[in-house]
A and B are shown apart, each in its own frame.
Chain A
Amino acid sequence: MPYYIGDVIREEKRLIARTPEKFRETGVDVRIDTRAEEVDEAAREVRLSDGTRLPYDILVLGTGTTPLMPGIPGEAREGVFALRQYTDALRIKAWLKQVPCRKAIIVGAGFIGMEMSEALRGRGIETVVHHRGTLPVSRWDPEFSKVVVEELQKKGVVFVTGSELKTVEEGIEHKLRLVTNHGPDEADLILMAVGVRPNAALGKQMGLPLGKSGAIRVNFSQQTEREGVYAVGDCAESFHRVSRRWVNIPLGDIANKQGRIAGANIGGGAMTFPGIVGAQSFKVFDLEVAATGLGEQEAEEAGFHPASTLVWGNAIAGSMPGNSPLGLKLIADRATGKLLGAQAVGKAGAVSRINTLSVALWAGLSLDDAGWLDLAYAPPFSGSWDPIHTAAQTLKRKL
């Protein structure tokens, strides 16, 4: 969606994987602009906002996430947005057309805030990011987060740290004014990107057990504790193959897979969801940022004994023109020598390394394995020793 707002994806219809009409052609009764208000489990009926009561034999909860809002006065003003749903993207884009938007404020420095700063800046809009902490994208090592800040600043995005929000008011020079502990800052659009939480309201109302994450507990077949009731996507938990714990990671690729598993089981098949390793990537201007597996703190919480190394290598062979630095951090368990997680940042090659290391995590490889993986070597793509080899062997020596 940030790429639609940034006019990289120009046509609205390219965002729609399948329209209601397409679904209806296959005999699926799609009811848009309709809310499921309540599940009457005794009658096995769902009560809808239009008053209809729908009988069910099988119920699926795919209720997604709810964006967190800071909870400050004025945050509901026109021109203040959150970005979670497609309709938010449409509203933001309509607002950008409607008002002369010269300046935007993004509150929050997670990956959505980063993607949106590129999208808005790319439209020639003066962009300021207000962040409560000191460094963006907290999943990554501070050394990598600093590279992200440098990239923002190089591209003309102002990055304000230690911002405590007070109010949103009407502006004088711009439409709106955000007041923080640093004083007033005006903009024509304010995007609240401070995070999301699983929307498990219906599940909760039904008394379904929720996990520590606040998402609905499911088994490997996507079934909840209740007979005939499934949960999929951002509102449900997933099994993390590295930590061996149930977690909630709201990403669309996971939702797609879980949906297919539940659909297969409902349609008479027998499938289980093998889980996730926590792979994630985003792009901010000319930087690829990616991570997989566990960070050190998560690893400790899961009972491992993490050790880590952070190396800077080359995205492609050092002798080649167009080469760029690639930062790679690996986390491994001192007790078993197993790889636990990885993070990477660079102009190129970060995502490809993280995808490789995601496979390593999936298969439970050790640092010994990762240090000697047979990777596709050619100078335009990597050195003969890839940063993966270097980092794994460096960390192996440290264990």
Chain B
Amino acid sequence: MGKHVVIIGAGAGGASVAAEARRRDPSLSIVLIEQRGQVSVAA
């Protein structure tokens, strides 16, 4: 298992981080935390 990445907030910014980091490095362990009930929303 690669590094542990914790992303706080799954809006446009946080969700993009998760997607791009995953694309580049499949070994990363990525957790995306969102206080609301949905992620990655078009404004």
Contact = CB atoms under 8 A, between A and B. Distances in A.
Interface residues of A, number: 60
B13 A46 contact: no
Interface string B16-30: 111111111110111
A232 interface: yes
Nearest to A39: B8
A30 B3 CA distance: 17
Q: With a 10 A CB-CB cut-off, give which of A17, A60, A264 has the most chain B CB atoms.
A: A60
B35 to A, nearest CB: 4
Interface string A3-41: 000000000001111111001001111111111100000
A34 B14 CA distance: 14
Contact of B6 (A17, A54, A251, A267): A54
Contacts of A62: 7-11, 13-15, 17
Contacts, number: 204
Interface residues of B, number: 40
A16 B33 contact: no
B35 A28 contact: no
Contact of A28 (B9, B30, B37, B42): B30
B13 A234 contact: yes
Interface in A245-292: 251-253, 255-260, 262-264, 266-269
Given A263-B24, A264-B20, A32 B38 contact: yes
Contact of B13 (A16, A27, A48, A259): A259
B5 to A, nearest CB: 5
A1 interface: yes
Contacts of B20: 259-260, 262-264, 266-267
A27 B43 CA distance: 25
A87 B37 contact: yes
Contacts of B36: 32-33, 85-87
A63 B23 CA distance: 22
A233 interface: yes
- Binding site secondary structure of chain A: mixed
A63 B36 CA distance: 11
B42 A15 contact: yes
Given A33-B35, A266-B17, A28 B43 contact: no
Nearest to B25: A267
Contacts of A232: 13-14, 16-17
Nearest to A259: B16
Contacts of A14: 42
B26 A27 contact: yes
A61 B9 CA distance: 7
A336 to B, nearest CB: 34
A262 B39 contact: no
Contact of B10 (A32, A87, A230, A267): A32
B9 A235 contact: yes
Given A32-B39, A36-B35, 12 more contacts: A46-B33, A48-B33, A60-B6, A60-B17, A61-B9, A62-B10, A62-B15, A252-B42, A259-B20, A260-B19, A263-B17, A264-B24
24 contacts: A17-B15, A26-B22, A28-B30, A29-B31, A29-B32, A32-B10, A57-B3, A62-B14, A62-B17, A87-B36, A232-B16, A235-B13, A251-B43, A256-B12, A256-B13, A257-B16, A259-B17, A262-B17, A262-B20, A262-B21, A263-B19, A263-B24, A268-B25, A269-B24
